[in-house]
Amino acid sequence: MSLKFRLNLLITLLSLAFILVVGTISVNDTRVSIRERVEAASRVTVQLLDTVIISSALNPEYGPTDKVLQSFLQSLGYVRSSHIVLYDIRGVMLYTSPASTYKTGVHAPLWFVKLVQPPVETVERRIRYGTLVVSSSAAGSIREAWSGFSQLMLVGLVFFVLLNVLVYALLSHSLKPINRILASINRMEKGDLSTRLPAFKLPEFDRIGHSLNHMAESLAAERQLEENRQLTKLIQTHIEDERRSLARELHDELGQYVTAIKTFAVAIVNKTKGKSPDIAHNAQTIVAAANEIYDGMHNIIRKLRPGALDNLGLAETLRDAVNYWQNLNPQIRFNLSLEGDLDQLGEMLNINVYRIVQEAINNALKHAQASSIEVKLAMEAHVLQLTIKDNGVGMNMAVVDQTQHFGLLGMRERVQGFHGHFSLVSELNLGTAIYINIPQFTHT
């Protein structure tokens, strides 16, 4: 059932209810009016006839009362709202009042007559040589009332029809924008976010149009943002693949060459140690340089791709990394806390969590001037929770533009790529804290 049909049906029912109430009130008023009119007319008629009867009794020279009354009634003719019958002493009808000629062409329906007709009142007078019977008659008043009532109902019917036609036309015109709105919503459901609604004359529809346009723009922006996140995630995946490949080549190729150089240099040292001290010293220098190259290569490999991440998992990799940072920075106290099942997070989440921790700690080491750094990773209530805190100099968040800090921006993008929540809290001289929550459904 459409909205237009419902509204039109509601107006129709209200109109019918209004007409019914008006008709009920009108019928009730008509019934009361007819009753009072008939009663008043009957009383006047009886009083008039009583006067004639008394006058005839007081003046015998006028003749018998029945004849005087018969003559008077014949000259009187029709009496409104009254039916008069005169009988002689033997019960023979001498006179009956003529029927009303008022609106004789009007015929009230039986149901209307039953609703408005008052009870018949009869007054009987015994006179000399006869009987006078006066009965109330509402026939003329009922025809008159029905004439007015039918005209009122006709006007009401015409008004009812016109009202419904006008309401239907008005609703059709006013609700016309709904079809455009529904069509736009259907296109949005099918993925067409370029659809826009025009301005409407009705303020309510205009607000709906503005809201839908704003929603479409927001959805389009969200879709673009999601596409950018997927692209960023793809780029990060390729970068990690390249880093892994480069780390493997460094380890396999360069490592072998450095090992070979070191082996040859050690052999030269052993052969020339006594015979040619200069050559042995130079060879020893080559051994030392090879060791430095080897250590530097492993540091580069660690930065490119921690080998423990593929072999031992995220928890062990973080322990190894924290130990490495602790050895390089003995003046800073590192605290690592790992809770829950962290072995089923998936390769992509593992490497992204590791990169976030790596970036956060590098930022703390460079800028925070902290004496304590805490890292907590936990799986609680199907949510991966990562917290990184330091007690350094902190930042004034009111004046910091996070979009210009590419380290923070990169961490935020990594988290949002997994539909997680990234929060940074920092105060001057009170340190900095990073809170990250990632739902479990994004772990795969």
What is the bridge-based pairing of β-strands 122-127 and 130-136?
Answer: antiparallel
Strands 333-339 and 372-380, bridge-based pairing: parallel
Which residues, including other chains, have CB under 8 Å from residue 98's CB and lie 6 or more apart?
A: 77, 78
Identify the architecture of domain 318-444 in CATH: 2-Layer Sandwich (3.30)
Q: What is the pLDDT of residues 254-271, one digit of tens each?
A: 778 788 888 888 888 888
DSSP of 194-232: T------SSHHHHHHHHHHHHHHHHHHHHHHHHHHHHHH
Residue 264: the pLDDT is 85
Whole-number percent of the chain with pLDDT over 70: 96
Q: Cβ(431)–Cβ(370) under 8 Å?
A: yes
CB-CB contact of 4 with 12 (8 Å): no
CA distance 359 to 357: 6
Q: Residue 189 — very low, low, confident or very high, per pLDDT cuts 50/70/90?
A: confident
CA distance 421 to 383: 11
Q: Provide CATH 3.30.565.10 ranges for the chain.
A: 318-444
Between 204 and 379, the higher pLDDT residue = 379
- Which helix (H) or strand (E) is 135 found in, with range? strand 130-136
Model confidence pLDDT, tens digit, residues 143-175: 888 888 888 888 888 988 898 888 888 877 777
Whether residue 367 has pLDDT greater than 70: yes
CA–CA separation, 395 and 404 (whole Å): 14
pLDDT surpasses 90 at 380: no
Pairing of β 93-96 and β 333-339: unpaired
Q: Model confidence over 314-364: pLDDT tens digits?
A: 888 899 889 989 999 999 999 999 998 887 888 888 888 988 999 999 999
pLDDT over threshold 90, residue 211: no
- Please report the pLDDT score of residue 1 as a whole number: 63
- Provide the 3-class DSSP secondary structure of residue 237: helix
At 106, is the secondary structure helix, strand, or coil? Answer: coil
- Whether 249 shows a pLDDT value over 90: the answer reads no
* Amino acid identity at 235: I
47 - beta bridge partners?
none
- Res 444: pLDDT: 47
| pLDDT for 402 | 60
Stronger pLDDT, 121 or 275, i.e. the higher one? 121
Surface-to-core class of residue 250, CB atoms within 10 Å of its CB (0-12 exposed, 13-18 middle, 19+ buried): middle
Residue-level pLDDT at 388: 95
**pLDDT tens across 96-128, in order?**
988 877 777 788 899 888 899 899 889 998 887
